[in-house]
Structures are given as structure tokens and as C-alpha cells.
Structure 1
Amino acid sequence: MIENILPAGVASAELLKYPPDLTAYPAEEHLIAKAVEKRRRDFIGARHCARLALAELGEPPVAIGKGERGAPIWPRGIVGSLTHCDGYRAAALGHKLRFRSIGIDAEPHAELPEGVLDSVTLAPEREWLRDTDSPLHLDRLIFCAKEATFKAWWPLTLRWLGFEDAHITFELEDNSVGAGRGTFHSKILVPGQTNDGGTPLASFDGRWQIVDGFILTAIVHV
């Protein structure tokens, strides 16, 4: 599913059913030694997907550590992103020579919990929600796009990006019941200096889809 919103050159893998024989690599085990079972499954499943994606890129399987803000530590020359929600884990990776950063996110296609919307959206985004007639849970779509935005932003800046620091706008290519797809634009509202000496970040462009009960978003920044 996730591959449908990723460009050529980005390797991906996803896991819906959790195989009983999956285990963490020994060098990863200390990161989840005290984690509850659900957290262990999400951690192991997402990293299993990452190793499948590494193989697609011609790279060997390796332990994937955890850095600041929980960001995965990729092998040299690789950029990527992990995501998980109930019933779904995925990874998307690419070579750093082709892509500056990747951010993906997955969420259940369901309304945000009560009281969450105002804390994760800007006033113009809430106005768009009020004005847009759609059977889709667009509130959760905004949240999902902002999560992908942060994941694409973080490795290039190593700075926090709050929900209030990005304004998301959407193009809805399909607006049918229970499904959808389109593009989104994430305008960064804070200074975007990067730590790789590249062009400062003013915005990201991404793709989204809703399929089989999941919202998926992806940003691949070049």
C-alpha cells in the first residue's frame, strides 16, 4: 500500500499480520527490554520492514538503533522513516545520494479523539475542515501529514517542529467513502536552516492515501 505514494528509488516494506517468530536483533534488545508487548511488536515489526527495504536497496541487514527523539539510526548513506499503528507497520528507505530525507506516517482512518483537534491544527486548517464536505476523516489526515512532516524535518535540522509550526493544505484526487488519495503541501512556519548545508526548508510536498482502514502519508524530499 505505502509503495503507491512513494517515488521510484525509495524501497519500502509493510507488515499487517505479525509473524510469531519475529525477534529484535541482539543489539536492539536493550531498547525494548522494559517495553510492553504492543510496543515490542511495533518496534520489532517496523525494523523488520526496514531490513526488508535495506535488502531491496542492496544493503545488508543491520541492527537499527535509536537516536534523539526516538529517530532511527540508519546505516551510512541511507535515509528513511518508520511508522506503526494498530495492525500496521512500515518502513521507507532510500540512498542519501538521491534523497535528503523521508517521512512516512500511518494512522487508523478514524476521527481524532475528542479534544485533540485544537492542539494539533491551525485555525486555517480547522476552517478548511468546516468548509470541506467529505466522508473521509480529514482531521486525522491533517494529523498524519504533520507526523510525516516532522519525520522529514528532524534529520535535516535536529530541531523540534510543533504542530503549530507547519500549515498543511491538501488536494483531494479521490473523495469516496472509506478511501481517498491526493497530495499535500506542508508550509514550514519557522526558520528552516538545515544541518547538512543544503537549501533551507520552506516547505515539503507529499502524497497521501486512505486504504483498507488506514491513512498513509509520505514525504520524500530531494
Structure 2
Amino acid sequence: MKFLEMIVPMVLAISLSYIVGKYDYFPTMSRSVSATPYDYFVFVQESPSVFCLNNTDCKPPPPIFTIHGLWPSNKSGYIGNCSGDNFNISVMTSDLVARLNDSWPSLKRSKENLDFWKYEYNKHGKCSNDLFSQTKYFEHAWHLWNKYKAHDLFSNHSILPDSPHNYSTLEKAIRSFINGCKPLLRCKRNATNQYLLEVRICFDKKANKPENCKGNTDCKQTLDVWYMLQPIDTRVN
């Protein structure tokens, strides 16, 4: 009996060691755990004037497209509320803050710019913390905006703001600057018109190379789309 009491634990230990080594079913505490799996990024710009249409909680809208977010995504959609360190204002440099104040402002009177960045980072940004630190995340979003400003892309295609356009004209203008990849345009409507609210450009897993966006537009492609940079007069029809 004493022999069996000694040999059985030894056999079990050897067997368990073999299983762990062969199949790796039991991860160790030292193994790094990656962020929530994501396959691509969605870079979202929005028209402040359209965002502020029929919105009483709005600051005077700047006449440009501004950043809404940079969202890690997978086939299930946008990833949010991941584990990891939350937004930390102390790591934001004064230069970065100045650039974000211009490119990524909060459009709501009730929310400061800092509150908006904190919300976006805690909900989306930290889901890519295996790729970007907090400062690198915001710096990269700014660089994408600086390269792919929607208002500049339209201007470079001689598309004038504060006027209606065919949906395909707007989409093709964006495509021409992202290697023919499909962007995703989103609209906002009132009783008489639909307005271009967002331009979404999708990028690969490193947020560098444009790729086709998934999903379909909510704009009615048979109707004109108003591309607006100035505050909207709801009497326009």
C-alpha cells in the first residue's frame, strides 16, 4: 500500500506534465494576455454642423470635419469596454492636447474636450493597448486626420460644401484617396433633406493601410446628400 501511495502521485504528475507540454491547455501566469481580438480599425470623422442639426446641446460648430473616434473592430462590429488602464491625463503632452483641441473637439456644451477623449479612450482606445499606448493612440488618430481630412479630400475633388451632391460622387472622392477602398458614409435627416454626418475610413490591424469597410451606408443613395460645413439653415430645401 505504501508503494502504491508513492507511485500513483508520481504517475499523475508525469502525465499532467506531458499533457501541459504537448497540448498547452494550462496557460501560465507569466504568459502575456492580448487585448480583445480585433482585425481592423475604423477611423470616424464627423461634420459638426450636421451633428448640431436640431441639437440644443451644441457648441458653435467649426467649419471642418473633426474626429469622432478610432475604433478597433472585428467581424462582430466595434469593440468596446475592454480591460486595461483607463485614460490618464498626466501622460498627455501640451502639444498633443493643442492638436486634439483643433482636430478632436467635443461638440457638446455639456462635455469638455477632455471628457470626450476620456470617453472614447476608455470605451474604444484601450482595446488596442497591445499596439498603442494612450499617447500613441491619440497621436496616430491625429496623423490619420491630418492625412485624410474629409473636407480636404472633397475639396481636392472640387466638391463644394454647403450644397447637395450625388452619393456616389462623395463616395468616389474618398475612394480616390484610399486606393479605391470602400469608405462608409453615414447620414442624418430632417423633414426635407439628408446630410452627410460621418465619413468612416477603415484600416488594417496596424491602423496604417486603408481597406474596405464592412457594412452598408444608412444614406439613401437615390437622394441627394447635402455636404455641409457651415451651420445648417433648416429652411434649405
With normalisation by structure 1, the TM-score equals: 0.28
More helix by share: 2
Q: Which has the higher contact order (CA 8 A, sep 6+)?
A: 2
